[in-house]
Amino acid sequence: MSAFLTTMAWVISMSWWFIALLVIIGYAWVVRTWLHRWKEIPVQPWSPVHATRSELTAIIPCRNEAKNLPHLLQDLRRQSLQLDIIVVDDASEDNTAGIAEALGVTVISSPTPGKKSALIAGIQIAQTEWIATLDADVRLGEFWAEAMVMAALQQDATAVIGSVTLRPHLTAWDRFQALEYGAMMVWIGGGVNAKGLAMGSGANLLFRREDYPTDSLALSLASGDDTFALEAIRKNKGRLVWQGDARARATTAGTATWFSLWTQRGRWASKTPHLNDPETILIAVLVGAVQCALLIWSLAAAWTLTWPFGLAMLSLWMLKIAIDYRLLKLVAFEFEIHVRKRDLFQFAPRYLILVLGAWIQILRRKVVWKGRRI
């Protein structure tokens, strides 16, 4: 009887290992698809936009951004293409509005709390053909506006999605966040170009003003203005375009602590159940399944302290690290992240910590943004 139970336990354990292996193989196929899609993104020729009037309005919804806002406004004033600027104050508790007014830009107050309401208020008073949404903590190069408008005109776009990168890369913590965020940009850029994904960061988006879907932003949810807007445009047969030119990038700083990173990712994940985007939901489920597989086998190996479980656990981890390695090397090259070799090998366990922490924040209902509970 004891031998029978031992055999059954072994069979069940190996069955679970094969399931974990299949999940990670599925992840490998997805990463391969991302890499292929990224290589298929065409490189558009640089064609300067010659405008005698402003064709673009930058809309910046702000809440307690007195520290960051002046730097962004300085970048916008230095643009090679003339543009208008609208700052929408979302009930800031600092001097955000006063600083913006002192710098001579248009400032309005959001009629109701929330970033989405602030965006809608800004769009309603914009007069230009194109509008861009920016986060107050990003930095831009002098050709950002021209590169974004150029992509829109060249490809007859309804919306242009620009990349966002994290700076600086001084510490291992900085580089981990930059690599993880860059991997998302590779997925998004390739997916948008393949016409299969409606995703982007609201920190760097351009829209044709008349086509911005203000009635599709799901105001009851605190997150997701970018995704809901892009999803609505795709549903309405609009054209989404990825602008991968480095001149169109926005840069921002990563978070300072694990807790703040967990909270940020918990906020982003909170919108997933409300999306009508099969690919995004599939990726969320697959990534979660991969992390569960690694966690379960790590706990099993630690609990049993036997070499078969240890070997099974190690094989899964090594496979995940090998899959990530190729993706992260591409990310490091494309977004100029000067990584160390240990950054590439330590990425997988750090990412597991990130996902677990975000899940815990969601389950505890501790996701907060700008002092507001989500």
Task: Convert the pLDDT of each residue in 329-359 to its tens digit.
Answer: 999 999 999 999 999 999 999 999 999 998 8
- DSSP state, residue 246: G
Q: How many domains does the chain have?
A: 2
Q: Is residue 27 part of a domain?
A: yes
Look up residue 357 and give its amino acid.
Answer: G
Q: Domain range holding 228?
A: 56-259
Separation CA 209–CA 190 (nearest Å):
25
What residues pair up with 243 in beta bridges, in sequence order? Answer: 162
Do 332 and 209 lie in one domain? The reply is: no
In degrees and rounded to multiples of 5, residue 212 shows phi and psi of -70, 125
Q: Is residue 284 part of a domain?
A: yes
The set of residues, in sequence order, having a beta carbon less than 8 Å from that of 9 and lying 6+ positions away, is none
Task: Convert the pLDDT of each residue in 182-220 to its tens digit.
Answer: 999 999 999 999 987 888 888 899 999 999 988 877 666
Q: Is the pLDDT of residue 223 over 70?
A: no
pLDDT score recorded for residue 15: 80
Is 249 in contact with 165 (CB distance < 8 Å)?
A: yes
DSSP track, 346-371: HHHHHHHHHHHHHHHHHHTT--EETT
Q: Is residue 109 part of a domain?
A: yes
Do 127 and 216 lie in one domain? The reply is: yes
Separation CA 16–CA 147 (nearest Å):
50
Among 231, 50, 303, which Cα is nearest to 153's?
A: 50
Separation CA 231–CA 227 (nearest Å):
6
Do 231 and 360 lie in one domain? The reply is: no
Query: What is the pTM assigned to this prediction?
Result: 0.90
pLDDT score recorded for residue 369: 57
Residue 86, helix vs strand vs coil: strand
Separation CA 67–CA 74 (nearest Å):
13
Q: Is residue 3 part of a domain?
A: no
Q: Is residue 46 part of a domain?
A: no
Q: Is the pLDDT of residue 87 over 80?
A: yes
Task: Convert the pLDDT of each residue in 99-125 to its tens digit.
Answer: 999 988 999 998 888 888 899 999 999
Tokens 């998302």 locate to: 184
Q: Is residue 48 part of a domain?
A: no
Percent of the chain with pLDDT over 70: 90
Domain boundary among the residues 202, 228, 259 is at 259
Q: Is the pLDDT of residue 324 over 90?
A: yes
pLDDT score recorded for residue 138: 96
Do 341 and 212 lie in one domain? The reply is: no
DSSP H or E stretch at residue 266: helix 258-269
Tokens 């673009």 locate to: 56
Domain boundary among the residues 226, 259, 292 is at 259
Largest CA distance in the chain: 87
Q: Is residue 296 part of a domain?
A: yes
Q: Is residue 268 part of a domain?
A: no
Q: Is residue 274 very low, low, confident or very high in pLDDT (cuts 50, 70, 90)?
A: low
CATH number at residue 117: 3.90.550.10
Is 176 in contact with 343 (CB distance < 8 Å)?
A: yes
